[in-house]
Every structure is written in C-alpha cells, then in structure tokens.
Amino acid sequence: MPNLYNRVARDITRDIERDIYRPGERLPGVRRLAQQYQVSIATALEACRLLEDQGRLEARLRSGFFVRLPIAEKVEEPAMSSPPKRPSLVKGQELALQLVKAANDPKLISFGAAVPTAQFLPLRAVNLAMGRALREHGTRAGQYEFPPGDINLRRQIARRMTEIGSPVDPEELIITNGCQEALGLALRAITQPGDVVAVESPAYYGLFQVIDFLGLKALEIPTHPREGISIEALEFALEQWPVKAVIAMPNFSNPLGGRMSDERKKALVKLLARKQIILIEDDIYGDLGFHGERPSVARGFDPNGETVIHCSSFTKTLAPGLRVGWIAPGRFQERIEYLKYVLNLATPTAPQLAIADLLERGGYDRYLRQARNEYEQAVTRMTRAVEKYFPEGTRVTQPDGGFVLWVEFPTGVDSEILYDKALAHGICIAPGPMFSATRKYRNFIRLNCAVPWEPRVEKALIKLGQLAGS
C-alpha cells in the first residue's frame, strides 16, 4: 500500500512538472484521480495528502486539491548575520508606534507592521464567539478573571501544547494580554536593570522596546535565515558575558522566518540548562508553518519547566485585537502570576471566554490549515514581486512559515531614507535598524505580506523598487 500511494504521488508530480496541472490550478477530484491512476479512492487521497505535506499541493476547504505556486528560485537569501559582539543599550525605537498605527490607516499600504489585514483572519467566527460569550456568560464576562485566567481556555491551550509534544497542565499556564505581555513578564521575573539578555539578530522590534523599557542590555547573536540562532556563536558569547536570559523564536522567527530543527532546539535547551540560563521562547508564529507537521517547541525538550519559559498568543491566528496570549512560566509560575496581577490585575474576561468556546467547538485546525495556505500564497506572491521589481542584487529570505519577508538591498540603499520617501507615496515599510539594538541592517527592510493582493499593492511594490533603485 505505501508503495502504491508513493507511486501515485510521483506520477502526479511528474504531471505537474510536465505542465499538465499548472500552479494555481485545481487537480481533478480524488474519484477521478483514482480512475486515472487506477488505484482506490483511499490511495489517491493518501497520495494527495503526501503531496500536500511536501508542499506541492494545497487542500482548500470544500474545493479539493490545488497545485501550489513554486517559490521563485532566482533570489538569493541574506547570509548569516554578524552583529556587534558586545552587549548594548537599545537605541532608536521611536518609529514603532508610527508603524503600528499605519496598519490601521486605510489610506496607507501597510508593509510595515506584521499585522494581517482583516481578510486573513477568521473574524466572523471570532465575532460569533464573542457574541455567544456575552449572551451565555453575561454576568461572568463583566467580572475580573484574575490570573492565571479562564480555566477552560487554559485547558484548551494545555491540550494543544500536549499534542505537539510539550505536555503541560492547565495549572502551569497563565493567560496574558498577548505575547508582548508574556515576554515582558518573563523578562521582569528573571532580570534586574543593567542585566544582559541575548537575542537573535535581527529580532522582532517589540522585544527591543521591552528590553529598553526594563533598562536591560541586548547582546545580538548571529542568526541564520533558515536555521535560526547560531548555537555555536551563542555558546561563545555566553563564555564572554554574564547573560541572564536568551530570547529566541525557534519556529518561524520574525523577521527571518527561520525554523530550528528538533536537534537544534534540543541542543539549545541542553546548552542553556547546563549554563543555568533561562530560554524565553516566543512561539507566536508556530501554528503558521507552510509544510508538514506543526513543529515542536523548545519547551517540549524541558518537560519540568526548569529552563524554558514559553510565550505565545492568538494574535497572528485569530485576531490581534482580542489581546489574548499565554505563558508557560515553568519554575517561575508563582512569581509571574503575581507580577501579572500587579501589572494590570487581569486579562479581559470576554475574549478569554470567546476563545475557549471557539477552541472547544473545534474547527480551529481547519481554519489554521486555510490560513497557512493563504499566508504561503501571500509570501510567494510578494517574493516574486521582490524578484521582479526590486533592484538587481536584492536578497530575500525564504520563510517556511509566518507572513513576513526580510529583504536585503544592495549596500548603499538607506532604508530609513527609503521609509520617508515611501511614506510620501502612501507606502509604509519597516526599516532594518528597528530590528537591532545597535541600529544595524541599514540596507534591510521587513515586508508584511499579509495584505490583499490588489492592483494598488502591486503598484506600491513597483514604486518601492524604483525608490530603492534611485
């Protein structure tokens, strides 16, 4: 049987390569495929599922299997980063608020903030769930839901973490106001002003803002665009500096989109356990991989929560406005629960009830499947536009999940000057220096791909390419 569906998968691949089925086209239904390749319907379906896992096909709800658009092959990716080797206070993050505000301004094309536009989010399902929560638990929704937060929601999150190889009890989770609060709580619990924390380079700018706010220093560690933080460089840095914590995104990092293999995740956790240094894991994009199984989390290699503090949220999958995230604080449970209470007493109750209800009813995984496909298509289209419209010599990442691209222009292009010029044309981008404590990456930008593909978006990319080349 396995040989049979492998054979059918190979035949379908060959037909795709011969252009019989073209990128974006729908394959015949499985019944037809079964006849065509002279196998049972179950075998034809198995072959399609295999091709889906390999990233050749995409399953669309109630429509069947479609041939995926291939990622452009010509573009090169940026090299492993080489940030300064000393810890530094964070400089120049003031642009961030302007970027996030632009995401809500319909007059601007928002390639800046990594916020998906409404079309990418299941807002109907979210709003229905909110309505139900208010109707069915009206009195409760008006009450505080003190930390650790709604038990049904924690149960659902614990179930999902257990399914990906990181078993936690609901009692080991605390609901937060998004992942940003989770990261802040983790840092507050384990650092004092003046301490050094190691981060991937480049890293999510919101992280630098928390580091700055808490008076910490950031030590940027070389990071590979596909393989994640360099464990070798990190080990070397840990010998030189008194690092209190390492913050990393092992799955689909922002902005690089890299994904660490299980071996590398395991090695990272082992290194930090040996050195007794805490790993703060940000897994906010973990559910948004394009291919194969949902990846493991570093916390799964630290079953007793001695080394890893795991943070995530529903911001990228359900809606940023819900402001619901979580933290698995491991041995810092009590401290972080108390800090959460001191900071803002509680996370709003209604969104917690709504998300718990939405997860309990099922359908979230089906939605995720669709979202992953849509984000992948968006990333592919944007990659092609970069290849077509940006100056010769531009490099771009090839993320395996999430919805951002990290673009390296030829040296000489100044992304902050480009930012001003682009804004004058109604286009918002995120300049590279925001992704570094030391304002590196002057000739880089990050592009948010989760924007609807309209003619004005393509025109904006053409304009951006012209401005960068001028």
Which positions lie near ligand PLP, rule CB under 6 A? 114, 178-180, 204, 206, 249, 254, 282, 284, 313, 315, 320, 325
Tokens of 58: 């995409």
CB of 207 to ligand PLP, least distance (A): 7
CB of 282 to ligand PLP, least distance (A): 5
Contacts 24+ apart (CB under 8 A), 100-105: 102/428, 103/428, 103/448
Distance in angstroms (rounded) separating the CA atoms of residues 128 and 329: 31
Q: Which CB atom, from 44 or from 284, has the smaller least distance to ligand PLP?
A: 284
Closest CA to 397 of 224, 261, 281: 224
Closest CA to 80 of 379, 401, 415, 397: 397
Tokens of 384: 């092609």
Distance in angstroms (rounded) separating the CA atoms of residues 101 and 153: 30
Q: Which CB atom, from 320 or from 465, has the smaller least distance to ligand PLP?
A: 320
Q: Which CB atom, from 58 or from 283, has the smaller least distance to ligand PLP?
A: 283
Q: Which CB atom, from 114 or from 219, has the smaller least distance to ligand PLP?
A: 114
CB of 291 to ligand PLP, least distance (A): 20
CB of 182 to ligand PLP, least distance (A): 8
CB of 286 to ligand PLP, least distance (A): 11
Q: Which CB atom, from 154 or from 421, has the smaller least distance to ligand PLP?
A: 154
Q: Which CB atom, from 78 or from 351, has the smaller least distance to ligand PLP?
A: 351
Distance in angstroms (rounded) separating the CA atoms of residues 225 and 19: 32
CB of 44 to ligand PLP, least distance (A): 39
CB of 222 to ligand PLP, least distance (A): 19
Closest CA to 346 of 123, 110, 144: 144
Whether residue 401 contacts residue 252, with contact meaning beta carbons closer than 8 Å, is answered with: yes
Contacting residues for 17 by C-beta, under 8 A, at least 6 apart: none
Q: Which CB atom, from 208 or from 301, has the smaller least distance to ligand PLP?
A: 208
Name the burial class of residue 290, with classes exposed (0-12), middle (13-18) and buried (19+) by CB atoms within 10 angstroms of its CB.
Answer: buried
Contacting residues for 206 by C-beta, under 8 A, at least 6 apart: 96, 180, 183
CB of 131 to ligand PLP, least distance (A): 23
The length of the chain is 470
Beta bridge pairs of residue 88: 218
Distance in angstroms (rounded) separating the CA atoms of residues 336 and 348: 18
Q: Which CB atom, from 141 or from 327, has the smaller least distance to ligand PLP?
A: 327
Closest CB to ligand PLP belongs to which residue?
178
